[in-house]
Structure 1
């Protein structure tokens, strides 16, 4: 059960992923199973790998930068600040930074992100 808490921003915890983006986990713990929030950063010219999340819906809330998002079988869409991208559980996705500055967005997952639910669709590992 979630309890009242303050979670200070810790920029020194940012890490680079195999998906080709930088992640800072803002909230992701068993104390709040219902949701996780991460700050994602994609460098100029980079396209993240095709991937999906099993049993986890995701929303991207673009904070800054410009990009092109691809979800499911939909046509690629240009995205920018304050745009929201809804990504159902199991839906393939990737995003490309088309600008000259970092593309920065919140990745909000329900239920919370678990590494074992991540599926790399470009280099799948059989179970």
Structure 2
């Protein structure tokens, strides 16, 4: 691996059928140990139940408030500064309960791969 700076391009944000907008910040086979995406859940929206095979995901809440459901845990309120750790094969979803967009980083290790994504 070589030193690299990747500049975010907000025009590359896309709507993902899970129910949120995604901006891939870093997801490359050259850095297979991790991927980073910015997720944006619109006001009042809830993502679909989903889980990742062989991948640990972390949500780092940047803006807004939400209610996260992971595995067998009771729903938990989250806000800016909170970190949610989601083990592989663990069902999850998040609902925006704030007054604007809920924005968080989704950090996956190893990196996010579409074939590891599962949903109801």
Question: What is the CA RMSD across the aligned residues, in angstroms?
Answer: 0.5
1:77 and 1:44 map into 2 onto residues whose CA distance is: 18
User: Gaps (5+ residues) in structure 2?
Assistant: none
Normalised by the size of structure 1, how large is the TM-score? 0.93
1:115 aligned partner? 114
The runs of 5 or more residues in structure 1 that have no matched partner are 123-127
Alignment check: 8 A CA contact 1:3 1:31 kept = no
Kindly indicate whether the alpha-carbon contact (under 8 Å) linking 1:65 and 1:104 is maintained by their aligned counterparts in 2: yes
CA deviation after TM superposition for structure 1 residue 97, in Å: 0.1
TM-score by length of 2: 0.99
**Which structure shows the higher strand fraction?**
2
Q: How many residues align?
A: 120
- Rounded to whole Å, the distance in 2 between the matches of 1:11 and 1:31 is 23
For residues 81 and 92 of structure 2, what CA distance do their matches in structure 1 show?
Answer: 19
1:1-127 matched pairs, under 5 angstroms = 2-120=1-119, 122=120
CA distance in 2, matches of 1:102, 1:46: 9
Tell me how far 1:100 sits from its aligned partner.
Answer: 1.6
Q: CA deviation at 1:3?
A: 1.7
Q: CA separation in 2, counterparts of 1:3 and 1:118? A: 29
Q: Could you give the per-residue CA deviations for residues 28-86 of structure 1, whole angstroms, max 9, x where no partner exists?
A: 01110000000000000000000000000000000000000000010000000000000
Instruction: State the SS of the aligned residue for 2:6.
Output: coil
Q: What's the offset of the Cα at 1:111?
A: 0.2
